[in-house]
Amino acid sequence: MMLAYYIFFALVLCLIGPFLLINAKARAGLGQKLGRIPLDLVKAKGEIRGAMWLHAVSVGEFNAILPLVMALHQKYPRLPLVVSTTTKTGQDLAGQKLAGVARTFYFPFDLPFAIHSWLDFVRPSSVVIAETEIWPGFVDITRANGIPLAVVNGRMSPKSFKGYARWKFFFGPVLRRFSVIGVQNEDERSRYRAVGGSTLPVVVLGNLKYDGLVPLPPEKILALKSELGITDDTIVIVAGSTHEGEETAMLDAYASILQTALGQSGKMLLVLVPRHPERFDHVAQLIEQRGLILKRFSRGDRLDGAANPVFLLDTIGKLFDFYSLADVAFVGGTFAPIGGHNIMEPYAFGVPVLIGPRYEKTRDSAKALLAKDAIVVCQSTDALSGQLLQLLNDPILRKQKGMAGREILQESQGAVQNALEMLAPFIAKSMQDHG
């Protein structure tokens, strides 16, 4: 079975090989993905050997495990940690956030020669995988080498479940190779066991992403406002993690609001934060094409004196900080056919959220927020300006929705401590191996 899988994977890799070589984004880390160990890691071999290896495919998964990585480092400073990602954006963010905490590298392709290269080099005491990044070859070879495997923040959406269930004769044994699987909620546990069997060791941890949502201290928020030139009387709308079509919808809504009495009588600011860096310049063009004043984070632009500008946050890793400035937030991937991103982030600051109807990936969070009337779902982009305007015109309504969401967030935290308890046997073994 595994031989057939490796042959299939190799054929797919050969077919997409030209794309990997031509496309700069796809080409990032290609050598490491093929098993080449970079020189800086070779030099740090002594501090890496026997580390706990945590894997997060991209930015979203990395942000989910970041509070766990930091908790491991704080509680067990002698425990060596390494973190792998698959995407360049994930790698860049990991390198930025984990300097002095963990070494980072690209996750290998799911082929024996690449997997063995990294396993032989790191010789991890254990491997912890975020969410649903389950590669059969990596799992098989890792367990064959006697290395325990765990999942944290595990999720299996209803859509993904259909695929796993259809192929459970293959994926069931793969899941059973994990020592323990930590999932976000009871529904996830049921889906994992439907694929892997009723005795699959699944533990409900909660959502690690929630634990990382700790609001900035007031002095840091004031410093950010001062750095950008934002005054206290400015109404701020932050549109985070946006995709194609969503920036256009936000710009149209913003332009519509500027024509109202609210827009004409006060200072307003729209902050656009595209999900993917390769779209930054395109979004800048969209702003300029509408005749709006464009300010860019990458240029160090300030907002002093600008009449109702649009600020393009063209960097990664800063979105959460900018939610602290918002009066209202829109979370992307909910009009585009993505399924939504982290809709709980703005609530760390008591900021109410609007989303589109495509929130499949965040359905559990949305359900809890809807039950408390804490979130606004816009069924179409045409409804966006009206819903925004209603919130912007009603400070009391904004506060009610924002604080209701914040209460839900606070009640949902605690997953990091649950994950530490679940991983205690892994940690104990690693600490014993390192004296």
> Annotated active-site positions, please?
61
Two tokens at 144?
């064959």
Question: Nearest Cα to 350, choosing from 405, 279, 430?
Answer: 405
Two tokens at 225?
């406002």
